[in-house]
Amino acid sequence: MITRRQTGGTVKFPKNTYRKELLRKKHEFLSALGLHSQKLAAVERSSEDDLTAHLQEQSVELGLSRVVHQQLREVEYALDRLASGEYGTCADCGDAISPNRLQAVPWARYCVNCQDRIAA
Ligand SMILES: [Zn+2]
């Protein structure tokens, strides 16, 4: 499904869809990090700051994968950007990130061009 609704250069993103997907990913990463569902439920009720602190403790304790943590941070960052209304724009050049890319990588913070440049 491709959503491409251009209104005067502004792309309308189905934010709730991305938010849901990001939250789902977040849960996936959290469980990959070994947080059990009960703990997770408790964490969900706490603030984002608590969650971050909690995760930092967990990672130190358990020596968990940096990669998963990195991805989790990307997801958190994307959720922040959703909240602040910056979601869907490239953090580098400010261009709109293509909906296709966001569907594939909902936490993408750069457009394809910038991502290539940064990865190169
Ligand atoms: Zn860019």
| Cα–ligand 1 centroid distance for 118 (angstroms) | 10
Provide φ and ψ at 11, rounded to 5°.
-85, 130
pLDDT tens-digit map of 25-55: 999 988 887 764 455 555 555 566 676 776 6
> Average pLDDT of 2-7?
50
Mean pLDDT of the chain: 78
| Cα–ligand 1 centroid distance for 28 (angstroms) | 28
Q: Hey, is 65 helix, strand or coil?
A: coil
Q: Are 34 and 58 in contact (CB under 8 A)?
A: yes
> Average pLDDT of 5-15?
56
**In this structure, which residues have their CB less than 5 angstroms from ion ligand 1?**
90, 92-93, 95, 111, 114
| Cα–ligand 1 centroid distance for 105 (angstroms) | 15
- Tell whether the model's pLDDT for residue 59 goes beyond 60: no
The whole-model pTM stands at: 0.62
* Segments in the chain forming alpha helices (H): 15-32, 37-45, 48-62, 66-84, 99-104, 112-119
Token pair for residue 117?
A: 């440049």
Per-residue model confidence (pLDDT) at position 6:
46
Q: Are 99 and 13 in contact (CB under 8 A)?
A: yes
Report all structural domains of the chain as residue ranges with CATH numbers, in order of start.
13-119 (1.20.120.910)
| Cα–ligand 1 centroid distance for 107 (angstroms) | 14
Per-residue model confidence (pLDDT) at position 67:
80
